[in-house]
């Protein structure tokens, strides 16, 4: 999972980035509306965390432009604008959910996961193949009825693959799911995490499509 965080408050931005990284969510963080529009036009994201009171371009205008381009990306507005009229404006402009500052980081993460599950089709179906069972909603991974413990980055790769069974993801695409702009990309990180997942799930669970990337089978 990868999100764009648009927040000009450095303390809030740093805390959100740290919390999401701990969940295995890669974060690109920008601090003004113009940078947000440039990032949205250039990169792909699973969701947008959007403050409204931004330098250069207001968050409402960023949201309006996103929806005008036909994007259905989940948007969680996180703002100090807390009047009923302001919340209604944000929702009517195209926000999917609204969280007023100050907020609890656990609630933000829960709301973000709920929005992405909804965007994927009203709740993630359990993926089953052989003795492996993966529930993206609970992040529970079972093999032969025994629960596995995955690192946050192992989960980030696995969640990406099982969200689109049969789709091939290149190494670069998987790296994007592991690291935000501030993260230092290790040269063989994807291969290391794939190797770890295969040891836990079975050597044939993640398929290497030579010259293209990795996938899991449709079931």
Does residue 12 have a pLDDT over 60?
Answer: yes
Lowest mean pLDDT, pick from 34-38, 129-133, 173-177:
173-177
Q: What is the dihedral of CA 160, 164, 165, 169, to 10 degrees?
A: -60
Q: Give the residue among 26, 25, 34 at the shortest CA–CA distance from 6.
A: 34
Task: Judge whether 182 and 2 are in contact, CB under 8 Å.
Answer: no
Span 71-99, pLDDT tens digits: 999 999 998 887 888 888 888 889 999 99
How confident is the prediction for the chain on average, in pLDDT?
88
Please tell me the distance from the alpha carbon of residue 202 to that of residue 131, in angstroms, as a whole number.
10
Q: Residue 183: its pLDDT value, please?
A: 56
Confidence class of residue 218 from pLDDT cuts 50, 70 and 90? confident
Task: Judge whether 58 and 33 are in contact, CB under 8 Å.
Answer: yes
Span 165-187, pLDDT tens digits: 899 999 888 887 777 665 566 67
Confidence class of residue 163 from pLDDT cuts 50, 70 and 90? confident
Confidence class of residue 122 from pLDDT cuts 50, 70 and 90? low
Q: List Cβ neighbours of 44 (8 Å cut-off, separation of 6 or more).
A: 2, 176
Task: Judge whether 39 and 5 are in contact, CB under 8 Å.
Answer: no
For residue 140, the SS3 value is strand
Confidence class of residue 8 from pLDDT cuts 50, 70 and 90? very high
Q: Residue 51: its pLDDT value, please?
A: 93
Q: Give the residue among 198, 114, 110 at the shortest CA–CA distance from 148.
A: 198
Q: Residue 185: its pLDDT value, please?
A: 61
Task: Judge whether 34 and 28 are in contact, CB under 8 Å.
Answer: no
Q: Residue 47: its pLDDT value, please?
A: 93
Note the pTM of the prediction, 2 decimals. 0.71
Q: Which residues pair with 6 in a beta bridge?
A: 30, 50
Q: Maximum CA pair distance of the chain?
A: 55
Q: Give the residue among 97, 28, 32 at the shortest CA–CA distance from 59.
A: 32
């Amino acid at each position: 999972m990868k999100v764009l965080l648009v927040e000009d408050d450095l303390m809030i931005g740093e805390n959100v980035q740290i919390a999401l990284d701990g969940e295995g969510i890669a974060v690109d963080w920008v601090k003004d509306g113009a940078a947000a529009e440039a990032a949205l036009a250039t990169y792909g994201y699973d969701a947008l965390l959007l403050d409204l009171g931004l330098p250069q371009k207001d968050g409402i205008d960023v949201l309006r432009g996103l929806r005008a381009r036909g994007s259905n990306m989940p948007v969680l507005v996180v703002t100090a604008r807390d009047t009923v009229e302001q919340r209604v404006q944000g929702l009517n402009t195209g926000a999917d959910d609204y969280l007023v500052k100050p907020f609890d980081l656990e609630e933000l993460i829960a709301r973000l996961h709920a929005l992405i599950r909804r965007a994927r089709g009203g709740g993630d179906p359990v993926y089953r193949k052989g003795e492996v069972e993966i529930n993206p909603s609970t992040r529970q991974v079972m093999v032969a009825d025994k629960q596995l413990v995955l690192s946050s980055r192992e989960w980030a790769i696995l969640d990406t693959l099982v969200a689109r069974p049969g789709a091939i993801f290149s190494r670069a695409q998987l790296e994007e799911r592991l690291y935000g702009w501030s993260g230092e990309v290790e040269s063989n990180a994807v291969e290391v995490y794939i190797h770890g997942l295969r040891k836990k799930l079975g050597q044939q669970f993640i398929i290497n499509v030579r010259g293209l990337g990795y996938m899991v089978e449709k079931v």
